[in-house]
Amino acid sequence: MEGGSDDQQQQHPRPPPRLVPRPLAVGHRGACGHMKGNSLASFHYAVALGADMIELDVCIDRSGDLVVHHDRYLPDGRLLDTLTLPEIQKVAPEVEPLSRVLRELVRSGVTLYLDLKTDRVVAPLMRLLHEAILRGGWEARR
């Protein structure tokens, strides 16, 4: 009997088909094992290493602009949403506006996984992504 008994086939079901040809290489905060995470240098290095996707963290500053930083607060304890970008960059110079990160990575071919650190980023993020898609280069994917 080909393929064994019905009992054996039920114990070892056929695996589902692969949705992707190989596992995705995801750069957590870019290439944070090699350099400061969530920095442009880290994102560019992740692309150079062959990352398919980059995870990055999105926060909001006092002006309502979106910035890329792992936490909602700085190492000195101040909340990002109480500071402007120049004030943030005095303590954490690697912090960049998300708009710049999008412009820098648009031609890289990498997919972005955006970790939203507060629900206050949702509306400005939708506007920024809409503008980025209209300018060209980025596309919405599920």
User: Which pLDDT belongs to residue 137?
Assistant: 76
Q: What is the pLDDT of residue 22?
A: 79
Q: What is the CATH number of domain 21-135?
A: 3.20.20.190
Residuewise pLDDT in 10s, the chain (142 residues) = 455 555 554 567 777 776 767 788 999 999 999 999 999 999 999 999 999 999 999 999 999 999 999 999 999 999 999 999 999 999 999 999 999 999 999 989 899 999 999 999 999 999 999 999 888 877 776 5
pLDDT of 1 reads 47
CA 50/CA 48 separation, integer angstroms: 5
Beta carbons of 38 and 30 less than 8 angstroms apart: yes
CA distances from 16 to 4, 7, 13, 20 (A): 20, 19, 9, 12
pLDDT at position 40 is: 95
For the chain, the structural domain boundaries read 21-135
Nearest to 47 by CA among 96, 91, 106: 106
> How many Å apart are CA 118 and CA 99, to the nearest integer?
18
Number of H helices, E strands in the chain: 5, 5
Reported residue count of the chain is 142
What Rg do the C-alpha atoms of the chain give, in angstroms? 20
Task: Count CA atoms closer than 13 A to 68's CA, side-chain side.
Answer: 27
Whole-number Å distance between alpha carbons of 60 and 124 = 9
